[in-house]
Structure 1
Amino acid sequence: MNDARRYCPLPSPFAMKRGGDLRGAHVAYETWGELSGARDNAVLILTGLSPSAHATSSADDPAPGWWEAMIGPGKAIDTQRWFVICVNSLGSDKGSTCPASIDPATGEAYRLSFPELALEDVANAAHIAVTSLGIERLACLIGCSMGGMSALAYMLLHPGSVRTHISVDTAPQAQPFAIAIRSLQREAIRLDPHWNEGHYDNTRYPDTGMSIARKLGVITYRSAMEWNGRFARIRLDAEERDEGPFGREFEVESYLEGHAQRFVRNFDPNSYLYLSRASDWFDIAEYGHGSVLEGLKLIHIEQAMVIGVSTDILFPLEQQEQIAEGLRAAGAAVEFVALNSPQGHDAFLVDIDNYSRAIGGFLNRL
């Protein structure tokens, strides 16, 4: 049992952007550090699609978190100075209300009766969690990947609630390449006969669809440079090969299979579909009369750091430049950091030295 996880009830009904509402819903979150008497040292982290709220270890839950090397005493996000909150996205099965949750109206899991999910809903739910802790204004809002898009929505929908922002490997809108990949991932899940229009269980479960979806994701999270450097054309030893026709022969195939196996039963397929589609739908240009720049200019904060990676094919560097330009046009003092990490989109989870230097440097200057 995760003793560090806490739950924030959402207002009932909780209205969703695209229609419908949730009743009796909640989001899961964890905190580290101490909130100051003035309540002015809170840092909120919004996550990518699959992570939980367990960003780093604590006395209540000593298991390593997904950003363990980044958060803690004396680390880049220093819990001796900052009160750090990480909220699990609404719609995620890592503790928040999601398609796998029980619908109080029916006593059955929502499955596909869960209302259409937008990242604006994720942002609004996170804002409720923050204000429930008595925090009116965040010292800093950090958004990674999908969480970066949720962070833009948060600042747009809740003016004055954020002083500074760190944008990590994200985008103001999904580009066609990212939409195409996510569309294929969803198709792989939906075409698995065990998905059964969302009505699967542990005995009939869309393992194959989830496996293909995860492999597609991992391919796009890293860069061709890294694939070449790590695997080249190295073949598996004879005893490790899959001897069936067209079976696994190369090391890179085995690597993808390992990633898929660790993921398949650890994330609810319907939740994956909902969050994936929410990422496609998000578009800050909706708020700027069709212009990304005009949408971003509606966000008013004091300072921002926008970090991107030259090898990121999912959220390319020019999209980080757009965010920096828009926030600057809105009056924020913006630092733009372009990293050359070979790890692509996943660099923020892997290239900790460079990200720590950037993020820790920014926070130290506040």
Structure 2
Amino acid sequence: MTEFIPPGTRFVDLPSPFPMKRGGALVGARLAYETWGELNGAGDNAVLILPGLSPNAHAARNAGNPAEGWWEGMLGPGKSIDTNRWFVLCVNPLGSCKGSTGAASPHPDDGAPYRLRFPDLSIEDGADAAAHLVRTLRITRLDTVIGNSMGGMSALALLLRHPGITRRHINISGSARSLPFSIAIRSLQREAIRLDPRWAEGQYTEASYPESGMRMARKLGVVTYRSAMEWDGRFGRVKFDAECREDDPFGPEFEVERYLEGHAQRFVRQFDPNAYLYLSRSMDWFDAADYAPGATRGDGGDEDAKVVAALATVKLEKALAIGVHTDILFPLQQQEQIAEGFRAGGVDSRFLPLPSPQGHDAFLVDLARFGPAVRDFLDAA
């Protein structure tokens, strides 16, 4: 059980106890974050970034940590999110293992890791923690909230639960609820971890870590993060091993298999399995339809209409929902629905579909397309 906290990470203490949406509370919890740029005198140039499941708060290099960040090409002086102009905050999601309190963090009662004693985690809990950070830094109102992937869900929860917290919003490859395909993939990922004997009902150790389960979970994820078009163009049917090895007759032969294995090996010892389970399930549970006026869970009716009705209650000046044609995990219609919901409430809301071949991960790698879209939106302040 290890936390992976990059140098330069800053922390804000959450209210204690910190109530969780699905019951229970955290005592002595904290949220990890990093900042770039300076808050101006009017306090109206703050941009909050809410990332996906696995990133830490280190989106780009800064004075506290000169290492390259996970969104280095997007964030910095003169870049699309220009830190000469904007005061930027990026949080590590609550429940993670990269600084924010999660299943790998010490329990206040005995100092041992929470493990499965951690309360049920919801997307809303992470949104409430981010709102507390904004208030603690005395930011009266954010200029923009940017949410990527799971962070797009967190951003919607933030807007729904904390009205008026921001003027504008960019939702990138996010969704207002998980579709059955996404739920199915994440269910298989969690099952791969839980069926690894070394998971041991969450009681694994550094010496006995569920590596096989985490490898399989990561491989399943990576397959859905990119598109079939990219897999074909990048790898084709190229083999790295001309023949099957006699000692491993069904082992990997193709370059795409080696690529997946490399990704998995880099991930498994850098993320806590229990934290992965909690965060993954929180995405399946989130449903903006719960916030539709008069909505009651399970009361039937048009669920998509409820999502639109819920988002129509959000008060914003302007919004942009960006998606990618080749994204199978958060398909394009989900970003279109977000823009539609905001527009139904009178928000100046735009939907931007991009033709990137790189699937769900395009916002991390296809900056030639995403960068100008984000820059143009922010520059229009």
Would you say the 8 A contact 1:200–1:206 is kept in 2? yes
The CA deviation string for residues 19-71 of structure 1, in whole angstroms up to 9 with x for no partner, is 00000000000000000111100000000000000000012211000000000
Aligned length: 366
RMSD over aligned CA atoms reads 1.3
Q: Which residue of 2 aligns with 1:152?
A: 156
Indicate the SS of the match to 2:160: helix
1:270 aligns with 2:274: yes
Q: Which residue of 1 aligns with 2:330?
A: 315
Structure 2 vs 1, CA of residues 358 and 240 (structure 1 numbering), >3 Å: closer, same or farther? farther
Would you say the 8 A contact 1:241–1:248 is kept in 2? no
Match of 2:174 among 170, 173, 177: 170
Q: Which residue of 1 aligns with 2:72?
A: 68
CA distance, structure 2, for counterparts of residue 3 and residue 223 of structure 1: 34
1:296 aligns with 2:300: no
CA distance, structure 1, for counterparts of residue 266 and residue 36 of structure 2: 27
1:333 aligns with 2:337: no
Q: Which residue of 2 aligns with 1:138?
A: 142
Structure 2 vs 1, CA of residues 241 and 122 (structure 1 numbering), >3 Å: closer, same or farther? farther
Q: Which residue of 1 aligns with 2:187?
A: 183
| Percent identity of paired positions between Structure 1 and Structure 2 | 62
CA distance, structure 1, for counterparts of residue 8 and residue 369 of structure 2: 29
Q: Which residue of 2 aligns with 1:30?
A: 34
Q: Which residue of 2 aligns with 1:247?
A: 251
The amino acid of 1:167's aligned partner reads N
Q: Which residue of 2 aligns with 1:343?
A: 358
The CA deviation string for residues 59-95 of structure 1, in whole angstroms up to 9 with x for no partner, is 2211000000000000000000000000110000010
Most deviating of 101-110 and 183-192 = 101-110
The amino acid of 1:54's aligned partner reads H
Indicate the SS of the match to 1:292: helix
1:355 aligns with 2:363: no
Unaligned runs of 5+ in 1: none
CA distance, structure 2, for counterparts of residue 3 and residue 34 of structure 1: 20
Indicate the SS of the match to 1:194: helix
1:213 aligns with 2:227: no
The amino acid of 1:306's aligned partner reads A
Q: Which residue of 2 aligns with 1:108?
A: 112
Would you say the 8 A contact 2:51–2:93 is kept in 1? yes
Structure 2 vs 1, CA of residues 248 and 3 (structure 1 numbering), >3 Å: closer, same or farther? closer
The CA deviation string for residues 201-255 of structure 1, in whole angstroms up to 9 with x for no partner, is 1111000000000000000000000011011111114499795020011110000
CA distance, structure 2, for counterparts of residue 277 and residue 142 of structure 1: 22
Most deviating of 283-292 and 321-330 = 283-292
CA distance, structure 2, for counterparts of residue 251 and residue 20 of structure 1: 47
Unaligned runs of 5+ in 2: 296-302
The CA deviation string for residues 191-210 of structure 1, in whole angstroms up to 9 with x for no partner, is 00000000001111000000
Match of 2:91 among 73, 87, 91: 87
Indicate the SS of the match to 2:198: coil
Would you say the 8 A contact 2:314–2:342 is kept in 1? yes
1:261 is displaced (CA, Å) by: 0.1
The amino acid of 2:291's aligned partner reads Y
The amino acid of 1:228's aligned partner reads D
CA distance, structure 2, for counterparts of residue 12 and residue 114 of structure 1: 15
Would you say the 8 A contact 1:242–1:249 is kept in 2? no
Indicate the SS of the match to 1:337: strand
Indicate the SS of the match to 1:39: coil
CA distance, structure 2, for counterparts of residue 243 and residue 178 of structure 1: 36
The amino acid of 1:43's aligned partner reads V
Would you say the 8 A contact 2:6–2:58 is kept in 1? no
The CA deviation string for residues 309-348 of structure 1, in whole angstroms up to 9 with x for no partner, is 0000000000111000001111110121100100000000
CA distance, structure 2, for counterparts of residue 218 and residue 2 of structure 1: 23
Q: Which residue of 2 aligns with 1:18?
A: 22
Would you say the 8 A contact 2:12–2:133 is kept in 1? yes
CA distance, structure 2, for counterparts of residue 242 and residue 10 of structure 1: 56
Question: Structure 2 length normalisation: TM-score?
Answer: 0.94
Indicate the SS of the match to 2:205: coil
CA distance, structure 2, for counterparts of residue 296 and residue 336 of structure 1: 14
Most deviating of 290-299 and 134-143 = 290-299
Indicate the SS of the match to 2:100: coil
Q: Which residue of 1 aligns with 2:300?
A: none
Most deviating of 347-356 and 292-301 = 292-301
Would you say the 8 A contact 2:241–2:254 is kept in 1? no
1:350 is displaced (CA, Å) by: 0.7
Q: Which residue of 2 aligns with 1:49?
A: 53
